[in-house]
Amino acid sequence: MSSITDQSALDLSQALHDKTLGAAELMEATLAQIEKTNPQVNAIVSLRDADALRAEAKAADNAERKGWLHGIPIAVKDLANARGLPTSMGNAMFAGQIAPADDLMVARMRAAGAIIIGKTNTPEWGLGSHSFNPVHGCTVNPYDTSLSAGGSSGGAAAALAARIIPVADGSDMMGSLRNPGAWNNVYGFRPTYGRVPSEPASDSFLHQLATLGPMARTPRDLAALLDTQAGPDPRQPHGASFELTLPNIDAPVAGRRIGWLGDWGGAFPMEAGLLAHTEAAMGELEALGMQVEQVDPPFSAEAMWESWVGLRSWAVAGGLNTFYETPEQREMLKPEAIWEIERGRALSALEVHRLSVIRSEWFKAAARLFETYDALVLPTTQLWPFPAAWRYPEEIAGVQMDSYHRWMQVVVPVSLIGLPCINMPLRLGPNGLPAGMQLFGPRDSDARLMQIGQAWHREYGYSATKPPIAG
């Protein structure tokens, strides 16, 4: 059975199309893999009834194909609504509340034929890159179950690594597609902001920090799922037409210029061995025919952090303030959420403007860099996966972290200005743990980044190294 769940989503899709594999057979293999691995990692939550899933898969075998995901099991991140399933967002207030309809992204995956089997675990409200919450507990790392799987798409990444599902949706405000991708040895892609629309709830203009996106074990699957998720929503202002990523993913990459930013001139403290491990991958990029050059810090890391931490708190406060204002609901918010809300509520309109001016200046500085470089590279994380028993890391390399999320500062240059970015898995570290590097480019360079990812995967294929629990 595990040989079936080892396959890529596109290979499964072809087999289902050719009828050399049935959706019912694939569902049985998926349920067996869940039974084998999920008790060890807690990646899948709110799993649907097995007999109902078997019946849906059998019906898919007897139905006309809807799209490339026809008959393929998928679990949806527990921040998004999937019709008929609970959306807890990791908070006890919402535990057991059933979604009456699909969110747009989920509807697009279902329209392409996906069978929604359940949800993937996440931190409460998606806050923090460690996937634990009072409703579903903690998701741990398939490569070492004493360690964190990252977050907030930790359940999605762990489910991919454990060979439970072949592709997964996720979301990314502060590295939530990239950090768990790195720590679970899979690909995570943060699209250009606006390419994958979220739900048009509340304000659609002001907050441009978070986006939905795909995760997968191969860049081809990543591209296929992105092309399914993407596309403008007429109810929202930021979407635009775009180039499909899958059709041209095998384009040549030789000659492309890559800028290596390292630890941003020492601004981002790194756990021992991680920076050198990532820098070694620059030679592997050069072996693919690309030109890699060291780049000095192009902008103040502290200015970016000031802008980021303020605008993020402002966005979180905008989303969660209604719960804060009700005393009995406020008591059910975790401390980090209250910290964000109170900081966001304290900002004046002119202070928000000042912080956004910093963001604008960084965007212009990055645009100048992209006149020279096709893509820039950073480590995806500042440390190896940390113990699952921790709430969050309090120091890195002797440097104290002054907030619950400072340890993920390395993702801020991308998130702050809405650029596309792919996490590419590296060779497992000498400690046997996964790590990754972020390649990011200018707006709308999503397809070109996918091409680099595909060349990387075709040559090195590091994500094929399975965790022992996957069988």
| One CATH from 3.90.550.10, 2.70.70.10, 3.90.1300.10, 1.20.1250.20 for 2-470 | 3.90.1300.10
* Rounded Cα–Cα distance for residues 67 and 30 (Å): 20
Q: Which of 131, 153, 171, 176 is catalytic?
A: 176
Helical residues (DSSP H) of 184-254, grouped into ranges: 219-229
**Residue 152 known to be catalytic:** yes
Bridge pairing between strands 421-425 and 187-190: antiparallel
Tell me which DSSP letter residue 125 carries.
G
pLDDT at 1 over 60: no
356 is an active site residue = no
Catalytic residue among 152, 198, 307, 463: 152
Buried b (16+ CB within 10 A) or exposed e, 242-252: beebbeebeee
| Residue 26 pLDDT > 70 | yes
Q: Is 134 helix (H, G, I), strand (E, B) or coil?
A: coil
| Structure confidence at residue 2 as a pLDDT band (50, 70, 90) | low
Q: Would you kindly state where each structural domain of the chain is located, as residue ranges?
A: 2-470
The arithmetic mean of pLDDT across residues 78-107, rounded, is 97
- Considering the candidates 13, 36, 46, 77, report the single residue annotated as catalytic: 77
The answer to whether 199 touches 171, Cβ cutoff 8 Å, is no
Tell me: the pLDDT tens digits for 267-320? Answer: 999 999 999 999 999 999 999 999 999 999 999 999 999 999 999 999 999 999
* Structure confidence at residue 239 (pLDDT): 83
Bridge partners, residue 440, by sequence: 376, 421
More confident: 239 or 329: 329
Q: Report which residue type is found at 256.
A: R
pLDDT-derived band at 243, boundaries 50, 70, 90:
confident
Task: Report whether pLDDT(372) > 60.
Answer: yes
| Residue 466 falls in the annotated catalytic set | no
Dump pLDDT digits (tens) for 340-365: 999 999 999 999 999 999 999 999 99
DSSP 244-300: -SSTTTT---TT-EEEE-TTTTTTS---TTHHHHHHHHHHHHHHTT-EEEE----S-
Say whether pLDDT at 374 is over 80: yes
Asked if 213 and 177 count as a contact pair (C-beta separation under 8 A), the reply is yes
